[in-house]
Structure 1
Amino acid sequence: MTPQAVRALLARGDTAAALAASTAGVAGPDRAAWLMLHAEVLRAAGRDLEAEPVLRRAIAASPESPVRRHNLAALLGDLGRDAEAETEARTALAAGGDAPETWLVLARALQGQNRFDEADAAYGEAIRRRPDYLPALQERAQLVWMRTGQLAPALAVTHHLPEAAATRRLVEAALYEAAGDPDSAFAACRRGPLDAALTVRSVGLGTRVDPTAALRLAEEALRAFGPQRPVLLALAEARLATGDAAGAEAPVAEALDQDPADQYALALLTTIWRLRGDPRYAALHDHEGLVSTRTLDTPPGWATLDAYLDDLAAALGRIHAFDAHPLNQSVRGGSQASVRLESHPDPAVRAFFAAIDGPIRRHVAMTGPGDDPFRRRHTGDYRLAGLWSVRLTAGGSHVDHVHPRGWISSACYIDLPEAVAGDDRQGWLRFGRSPVVTGQDLPPERWVQPQRGLLALFPSYMWHGVQPFSEGVRLTIAFDVVPA
């Protein structure tokens, strides 16, 4: 098989076949090129740790290759090994690899080490080489926003671009939405020609601002861009916002045919079923069979769970360095930080994997296999697919959301404000309140009162959010689980 054929398999989502082909290719001629492709396939399969030695073998065959050094730097950054990622990115740049992508990898590595001024400068170098480079613009604007909580300096990141530039409008829309101004976000999206991404974003914002206009945009997008999954989901949102739950079901079903694991599409479908009184809703929102709360196991090295949580809270406190929440996330009134278990230097952070392994396995065993969209993915084993920490301060909350690429999602409580002990549900986790505009009241169906050391586990398609609280700090770790 040729490398082009392997990449075609990846494009179709057939990672198993691509992995088998790239494994065979490594044993044949042109071994160095196949090693690079094999590492790419391993990463697509979510096997980043296995990709690292493969990339290092490819580099050994051509140590001066800036492309191979860049790829290793990007991988190390994704693994949370930011100092090593910085070294490899600088090596790639010194070898002549002056691509904006490499400057972006360097900026992320510097930001991961809390060297924010240097990160800002590296983002600037990426943008100088490609002025409309969307990832660099988004991340630089987000860095400014999270450091300051101020909208004006974050918006200034894109002011070198024309007001009608699509990239500028996407970044500005995200910033306005993060600042709680959906009207300005909607206006920013529509300040020029609409491509597919801007149309989808406009529809989502428009359902809260002008549902009729949102529906018109969604229908135009379907005609212009065809039945792409984001367009289909935007159309369903717009129909729900105008009260047409029956008409929303067909585009969601088509989107799920394209990607049955899309948890956001599944959340929309179950919302439609709830609105229409469809009995299938209850099966997928079986809170007794699919949701559980479990106490963390005390990991080796600590005498008690409280002692472990004290050390973990102190370590997480050193990780959180921002004043404002990130863009395009559910956090409001706090900060969010990504955490890599495998490579973090603090022993309490690394031990978190041991603390959650038993509770996750007991939860997976409880849910069991079956034929519904959740249980049919059951393999009996799991792997983590992202882990992050959230630090909410007084007035903080989570807007209702789902985790689109997960299977099982979580909330683990490390430190809590006194307010969560009350009966008014301050800081509590809620399930079932849909953020999608539907014209009907869909209140929460279940509440979980946080307790220190408690781990809540639930299907990733379930809408969930957090009530605001009046004072103190609410420190959590969250992660997604997918079948292994």
Structure 2
Amino acid sequence: MQPTLANLTEEAQRLKAAGRIDEAINAYRRAVSLYPGNGVALHNLAGALGDVAAHAEAETMAASALKTGLDAPETWLVLARAQLGQGKLEPSRKSYAEVIRRRPDMLPAQFEMAQLVWMSTGDREAALADIRAAAARPGAPVMLRFLEAQALEFMEEPAGARAALEPALQHADCPSEILALAADIEARLGRPDLAVGLAERAFAMAAGHPGALEALIRARLAAGDGEGASAAAADLTRRQPGNQHALALQATAWRMLGDSRYRDLYDYGRFVSVDPLDVPKGWADLDAYVLDLAAELKQAHPFRTHPFGHSVRYGSQRPHILMLQTPAIAAFLEALQGPLSRHLQRIGQGSDVLTRRNTGRVGMIGNWSVWLRPGGYHVDHVHQEGWLSSACYIELPPAVNAGGKEGWLRFGRPGIPVAGGPEAEHWVRPEPGVVALFPSYMWHGTEAFTGTQPRLTIAFDLVPI
């Protein structure tokens, strides 16, 4: 007996929830095969393909679903994401517009549309236009103001972000997410006491939510309450031992308190390595490989400015860069094997939060390329979902070797406001064809650089398998 579409869909959903995404995609393919021309089956397959960054096929499936007469905003959203993943900026913008026309309060679509317009144009007002129009509608969700504030913060407009949240903050039932964001902004604006008050409100409303606890820790660090921050961070790391941001907050509190456990986490000599890539097959030497890799990466960067929610400033970021199958990019994983193997051996296995997870094998959970313009930099940050993070240098400006630290990778300066303003402790001077590997919980950023030449890198996050 032929299974029903509902049964096939339920099977695929179970597989996806279990992390068996390839098997889930096969189940969705079977549904499309057994029910050809069914818009829902095509939509489900398109969505799953998008989850694994198979953007070209996802676009084909989503477009086919729409041709069946399925006109759901969710399907337009799958199409928009698939087009964006291929660098098709204008078609993607039009598809996002179709989502918003059908459902102005669909928050992910509004956020992604704003980000796309911002990255493509650098025009703040144009990027925020749809969010603001939707927020002005009677009965609009208050979280649209949250999106506006988030976007403004990522555009380096903290005062504007705080103003966008003000109407929502006047309500007794203000969502904890808005309270937490407002706390972070107040700390950034140099008002730590207000930050603590807002974070405490958020935590009281959503004590079981890790995001509210993280906001409280950040506010206490801004106010100089090392003991309170450390106690809350210990609670958070117990709840989420793999949360790299939680570990960074705990380390920051220990540093404030002069606790020796800080140096156990931030042992740069042991946990940070810098090694040249291997020369992959097909290239005579590393210089030749890096030159070809640089040329291919530059062709893959379609944006004018940085995305929301990332560390890049004054530059562009291309996600899923290793999905591209141009020759030098396709050879990158081969080039990485030697330095990665040496790093895993160097850090070894132990009882600390980093090395106790070292199985000797890793999987990549994200990869991207960053092309910084002169004056560009990375704000200090950590990689919450990773275990090991990286920076691989492909093309560098002359300022890197000018005698200062322009364009260098730095470690140790928190990417949040902290009383006393702790500074960076360790730097790595970049070299073309070299990869730096380090714990994902380590605060890291880059120094801005001058001149006329850009800075081009590949980065990725790894987890044990």
Q: TM-score, length-normalised on structure 1?
A: 0.89
Distance 2:221 2:332 in 1: 41
After superposition, the CA RMSD in angstroms is 2.1
Please point out which of 155, 162, 165 is paired with 1:179. 155
CA contact (8 A) 2:132 2:148 kept: no
Amino acid at match of 1:477: I
Question: CA-to-partner distance for each residue in 1:1-29, whole Å, 9 max, x for gaps?
Answer: xxxxxxxxxxxxxxxxxxxxxxxxxxx99
CA contact (8 A) 1:162 1:168 kept: yes
CA contact (8 A) 2:407 2:447 kept: yes
Question: CA-to-partner distance for each residue in 1:282-330, whole Å, 9 max, x for gaps?
Answer: 1111112211011111111212111111111111111111111001111
Please point out which of 310, 315, 340 is paired with 1:329. 310
Question: CA-to-partner distance for each residue in 1:72-100, whole Å, 9 max, x for gaps?
Answer: 22233343332211101112222343222
1:293 aligned onto 2:274: yes
Distance 1:271 1:429 in 2: 19
Distance 1:63 1:254 in 2: 51
1:416 maps to which residue? Answer: 396
Helix, strand or coil: the match of 1:332?
strand
Question: CA-to-partner distance for each residue in 1:108-154, whole Å, 9 max, x for gaps?
Answer: 12223332222111101111222111111111111111111111111
CA contact (8 A) 2:226 2:256 kept: yes
2:108 maps to which residue? Answer: 135
Cα distance 1:31–1:258, how it changes in 2: closer, same or farther (>3 A)? farther
Runs of 4+ in 1 over 4 A off after TM superposition: 28-51
Q: TM-score, length-normalised on structure 2?
A: 0.93
1:162 aligned onto 2:135: yes
Please point out which of 329, 333, 339 is paired with 1:349. 329
Give how far 1:50 is off.
Answer: 5.2
Distance 2:4 2:403 in 1: 64
Helix, strand or coil: the match of 1:293?
strand
Amino acid at match of 2:289: Y
CA contact (8 A) 1:290 1:459 kept: yes
2:118 maps to which residue? Answer: 145
Amino acid at match of 1:248: A
Distance 2:213 2:282 in 1: 51
Give how far 1:40 is off.
Answer: 4.3
1:114 maps to which residue? Answer: 87
Helix, strand or coil: the match of 2:420?
coil
* Matches for 1:3-402 after TM superposition, within 5 Å: 36=9, 39-40=12-13, 43=16, 48-49=21-22, 51-163=24-136, 165-192=141-168, 194-209=174-189, 210-341=191-322, 343-402=323-382
Give how far 1:67 is off.
Answer: 3.2
Distance 2:287 2:6 in 1: 51
- Can you give the 5+ residue segments of structure 2 that lack an aligned partner in the other structure? none
Helix, strand or coil: the match of 1:434?
coil
CA contact (8 A) 2:409 2:447 kept: yes
CA contact (8 A) 2:369 2:456 kept: yes
Distance 2:4 2:260 in 1: 55
Distance 1:367 1:154 in 2: 44
Cα distance 1:38–1:258, how it changes in 2: closer, same or farther (>3 A)? farther
Give how far 1:456 is off.
Answer: 0.3
Q: Percent identity?
A: 47
How many residue pairs get aligned? The number is: 456
Cα distance 1:362–1:42, how it changes in 2: closer, same or farther (>3 A)? farther
Which sits farther off after the overlay, 182-191 or 410-419?
182-191
Cα distance 1:52–1:331, how it changes in 2: closer, same or farther (>3 A)? same
CA contact (8 A) 2:135 2:145 kept: no
Distance 1:415 1:398 in 2: 16
Cα distance 1:118–1:366, how it changes in 2: closer, same or farther (>3 A)? same
- Can you give the 5+ residue segments of structure 1 that lack an aligned partner in the other structure? 1-27
CA contact (8 A) 1:425 1:449 kept: yes
